[in-house]
Amino acid sequence: MKDILQTTPQTQKVNTGVTEPGAVATGLADVLADTYRLMYKTHAYHWNVEGPLFYSLHHLTEEQYENLFEAADELAERIRALGSLAPMSLGEICERSVIKDADGTPDAREMVEELAADHERIAYRMHALVELAGKSNDPVTDDMATARSAFHEKAAWMLRSIAAE
């Protein structure tokens, strides 16, 4: 009998009526990478923000990184439900993501502006995933991506409102 601890994760054949499960899983892996990378970036800014808006930014970023962490788990589980493997290395997360690290140490305004732009990038990619999920007869991913896009659009709006002069 094979040792149960030596079981390697496998892709699985699933029959849920999704016509392009591999393509949808790839799109999900991309937005999972974005979500995970933005979660870390938001958390790092949460730790390091300074200035007159410290308290409000510290709490806003905490709400956002906690939401992003939960979303990453949901996205990964959807990938698995479609029969694929979720990304398993930070290298793959970085390769897939459109979210980039800051150059240097940004001040509070730069942090807010970068995070707002990052949320907009992810919302844009979520819109593409909604379209792909619709064409692939995948209402579950469609709903998930629509809800995640709404979160990112609201987060960008809130951050841009803080940065407005």
pLDDT in tens, 19-38: 999 999 999 999 999 999 99
70-115 per-position pLDDT tens digit = 999 999 999 999 999 999 999 999 999 999 999 899 999 999 999 9
d(CA 45, CA 63): 13
d(CA 81, CA 37): 22
Domain boundaries, the chain: 20-163
Class of domain 20-163: mainly alpha
Q: What rounded mean pLDDT belongs to the chain? A: 93
- Is residue 137 within 8 A of residue 18, CB to CB? The reply is yes
Mean pLDDT across 119-142? 98
Q: Which phi-psi region, left, alpha or beta, contains residue 36 (left: φ > 0; alpha: ψ -120 to 50)?
A: alpha
